[in-house]
Amino acid sequence: MEVGGIQALRRWRAEQSGRVGLVPTMGALHSGHQALMTRARAESDLVVASIFVNPLQFGADEDFVQYPRPIEEDLGKCEEAGVDFVFAPALAEMYPSAPEVRVVAGRMGAVFEGAARPGHFDGVLTVVAKLFTLIAPDVTVFGLKDIQQFVLVKRMIADLNFDIELIGLPVVRDADGLAMSSRNEYLTGSDRERALAIPRALDAAAEVAERSRETAESGIGGSSDSGAGPSDVSAGLPAAVEAAALAELEPAAERGDLEIVYCSLVEAATLRPCPPDFTGPALLLVSATVGGTHLIDNLPLEF
């Protein structure tokens, strides 16, 4: 496994042939990141993992300086996962000066995480575009825990005509159900216990959606006077799904266990709120602050 900055990457890349997979990261790697690398290996001949804490995606009051940077541990995890090249550039290499030209995330980047963190997704897309240009991957693998990021990268690939296949890997969870995240390191033991209200909320929402689906399917083929059909069963389902999640989150918030940032069911393609009669792919987006740590999670659904 080779490690280096921009010049080393360019030398290495010029010598390679075959399909290249990219896993962009900010380091502080865990088994969820390694799962992305394993998938990239399955899709590629060569795998590049980037480790770069990108200042453009941190707000003025966020944790850029404190963000964990255990580089030796990270390199070990990359090697375990079979990475061929770790792109670990210095800050001055990626941004010799404050960039005047950036990628703008637009409307979908200004809601949810973008509303709470103005400019965050502009910074994400700018650095991802730089990585795509420098590494020229054939395929890139992103985790679906950061689902808004995934949706925006997908749109950027389409809008800017990057010839790159984008693969999303489902959320990787710890045994207690909490989504794996580098920021979980900030949680105390009691914080983590309180944070479990988030996966419980997603489970409750999934149960409501599944129960409604089963009810709708059981009505198919019934007599014409049997009452509500499938479309009637699903009417108002988005609101019911949200309500089920909030029924878990709001009591936790009232106890002071967490602070709800948002809990919304949206259309997967546009991130707009689902109308009552919506059909198609949807996402339940949840964010909460636990003990000062900002956590996000989501649930994909099909209506």
**CATH number of the CATH domain containing 265:** 3.30.1300.10
* Cα–Cα distance, 300 to 95 (Å, whole number): 36
User: Residue 127, class by beta-carbon neighbours within 10 Å (0-12 exposed, 13-18 middle, 19+ buried)?
Assistant: buried
User: CA nearest 162: which of 143, 124, 142, 135?
Assistant: 135
Residues 149 and 287 in one domain: no
Does the structure show a pLDDT above 60 at 1? yes
172 known member of a binding site: yes
107 known member of a binding site: no
Residues 250 and 128 in one domain: no
Mean pLDDT of all residues in the chain?
Answer: 92
**CATH number of the CATH domain containing 70:** 3.40.50.620
Count of the separate structural domains present in the chain: 2
146 known member of a binding site: yes
Cβ pair 76, 34 in contact under 8 A: no
Q: What is the pLDDT of residues 106-162, one digit of tens each?
A: 999 999 999 988 999 999 999 999 999 999 999 999 999 999 999 999 999 999 999
145 known member of a binding site: yes
7 known member of a binding site: no
Q: What angle do CA 26, 67, 9 make, to 5 degrees?
A: 30
Please report whether residue 175 resides in a domain.
Answer: no
pLDDT at 212: 84
User: Domain of 62?
Assistant: 2-169
Please report whether residue 223 resides in a domain.
Answer: no
User: How large is the average pLDDT for residues 271-278?
Assistant: 94
pLDDT at 219: 64
**What separation in angstroms does the CA of 175 have from each of 51, 156, 207?**
26, 34, 20
Q: Which of 22, 33, 52, 258 is catalytic?
A: 33
Does the structure show a pLDDT above 60 at 228? no
Is 294 a residue of the active site? no
Q: What angle do CA 31, 51, 156 make, to 5 degrees?
A: 95
pLDDT at 232: 37
33 known member of a binding site: yes
| Residue 296 vs residue 233, higher pLDDT | 296
Q: What is the pLDDT of residues 28-49, one digit of tens each?
A: 999 999 999 999 999 999 999 9
Cβ-based neighbours of 99, under 8 Å, separated by 6 or more: 56, 126
- What pTM was computed for the model? 0.88
| Residue 63 vs residue 243, higher pLDDT | 243
